[in-house]
Structure 1
Amino acid sequence: MHQVTRVYQAGEYKRDRWEEEDLLNFSKYLDEEKDGAIILEGEKVVRELKRLPETEESFGLIHSDIHPGNFFYHEGHIHIFDFDDSTYHFYVSDVAIPVYYPVWWKHRGESLAVRSKYGEKVLYHFLVGYLQENRLDLEWIKRIPHFLKLRDIELYTVFQKKWDPRNRSEQEQELVDGIRKRIVHDESVVDLDYEKIYKRAEQEIAKLNR
């Protein structure tokens, strides 16, 4: 998809840009008294991403929500669906999100070390496939932490929007509290050596192409 959208020209109808997402209006859904620090952090991340260079190699139409509930695996092939959140965004966001969700769904209650070990495996295998189809420089992969943080804050905002605090189930409250704790303590969902993983993936691709 990323390779194709490098040259894609929209017709009469065009998807929004990422910064037009309603959920990025954090103060609309978050309690400024309780979550003032989270609102400020979210606004800071958005400002940082807005400063990144938008080029044909870095920015285009992406899926924006690739997680285990949005694809099927059938006879050796992955079939992605649910393009409702497709937006114009940095390509690396579509690399960060497929790392974020498997780690969060499978190991969100585990330590950072456990999450990172699993995240390294996910990102490595993802890049082995991705880099054979579309080129994304290492410098963009190193920016993944910004996109992971943004997704943390966006997801926290989604839960505040969807789940009334007075009527949450125990499981729902646990999900909200877990994300909030990480954001407040400035702890990423994973802590990875992105350069090491990237170079390993390149080496594996070189072997496959011999």
Structure 2
Amino acid sequence: MLRGWWPTIQNSLLEKVSAKYGVNPTSLKLLGGFDQNVYECKAKGNNFILKILSGTKYDISSVKQELAWMNYLFEHGLNISLPVRSVKGKFIEEMKWESEYYIVVAFEKAHGSVLADLHLADLLTVKKWGEAMGRMHHVAKLYPTSRNSLVINKEWNNNSIFTEYPPIEKKVLDKWQTYIAELQLLDKDINSYGMIHNDFHHHNFHVHEGEIILFDFGDIEKSWFAYDIAISLYHAVQTIPSYEQIRRRDFTLRFYETFMSGYTNENLLDKYWLAKIPYFLDYRQIYSYVYTSKYMNIDHSNEKVNKVFKRMKYNIEHDIPFIDFNLHIG
């Protein structure tokens, strides 16, 4: 399995966090998260989700950005898992524990469930998924800069992986630096570039009574709308084994066509940017490889994980595209 950098959260810290929200620490259930820091809390009312963020990786301004953006999306008609206040009425709690600094936020537990079997998903659900993203991109163009200047300044290359590279293979590093240079040259007009979710895959929303409920906005940034589309497509396609080439191709085309039929109901992208989606799929692959190399330790004893990681490396080094067929952009 993949093992995150986050150490095991101690019971004494969980007790302190629980007190902030007036719940019993025994009611906390670890859900996971990239850093193994997301918990479900059983409360007398509705259950809610707790995220315990390390101050070594997050800062208070980025969390404020996340909540401000979520509130803006909610005001513009998107179904959002809303923040929950602590006992003291705060949306953000800060604390120190054993000389470490932590930020804690809580959110309503979204009704419904994730799309566990994506290849069996109702096409109408995939269409609504696309509509939700299209709506986000449309309202991103209207986001007032005076509302929260910190959000607007959160650019695509703010992450340290763009300046402090992990110890990766030279071929991969060279290609990573090439992507960075190429991306810096792309246009950033209001119709193609703005606030994106940046992690809108099928485990970051629930489906309830036919509706999409969004959550986990911790990775929001200002980037290209076409890249946000590519992220959803990338993780959807990954659910089909790469050795099932025909099935993977058929699924990809069906998913993309359905997703975009919903997206275009809410937002339109120039064909130039739609044609860039395969490029962004390849970029997502190398980004995932570099990000994982920097922030996680790969358990090479796990044959399945090791095989996937080696295949990613091979594809990157040999310029093998994530998909090798046309998406019928039109």
| Category of TM-score, reference length = shorter chain | 0.7 to 0.9
* Residue matched to 2:68: none
Structure 1 portions without partners, runs of 5+: 200-210
Structure 2 portions without partners, runs of 5+: 1-135
Shift of 1:113: 4.6
Shift of 1:165: 4.8
How many Å separate the matches in 1 of 2:210 and 2:140?
A: 25
- Does residue 18 (structure 1) correspond to residue 153 (structure 2)? The answer is no
TM-score scaled to structure 2, two decimals? 0.54
AA paired with 2:220? Answer: S
How many Å separate the matches in 2 of 1:108 and 1:50?
A: 33
Q: Within 5 Å, which residues of 2 pair with 1:83-98?
A: 83-98=217-232
AA paired with 1:191? Answer: D
Higher RCO by CA contacts (8 Å cutoff, separation 6 or greater): 1
* Residue matched to 1:29: 166
Pick from 253, 272, 278 the counterpart of residue 145 of structure 1.
278
- Going by fraction, where is helix more abundant, 1 or 2? 1
* Residue matched to 1:188: 321
How many Å separate the matches in 1 of 2:263 and 2:161?
A: 28
Contact 1:116–1:189, Cα closer than 8 Å, also in 2: no
Contact 1:66–1:94, Cα closer than 8 Å, also in 2: yes
* Residue matched to 1:99: 233
Larger Rg belongs to: 2
Match of 1:53, SS state, is: coil
TM-score scaled to structure 1, two decimals? 0.82
Structure 1 range deviating more: 153-162 or 108-117: 108-117
How many Å separate the matches in 1 of 2:299 and 2:265?
A: 48
Structure 1 range deviating more: 6-15 or 157-166: 157-166
Shift of 1:13: 2.9
Shift of 1:2: 0.6
Q: Percent identity?
A: 27
Distance 1:110 1:166, change over 3 A: closer
Distance 1:185 1:107, change over 3 A: farther
- Does residue 40 (structure 1) correspond to residue 174 (structure 2)? The answer is yes
Distance 1:118 1:145, change over 3 A: same
Shift of 1:135: 0.8
- Does residue 67 (structure 1) correspond to residue 201 (structure 2)? The answer is yes
Residue-pair matches, total: 192
Distance 1:186 1:117, change over 3 A: farther
RMSD over aligned CA atoms reads 2.0
How many Å separate the matches in 1 of 2:232 and 2:248?
A: 14
Match of 1:29, SS state, is: coil
Contact 2:191–2:269, Cα closer than 8 Å, also in 1: yes
Contact 2:199–2:228, Cα closer than 8 Å, also in 1: yes
Pick from 265, 272, 287 the counterpart of residue 154 of structure 1.
287
How many Å separate the matches in 2 of 1:154 and 1:138?
A: 24
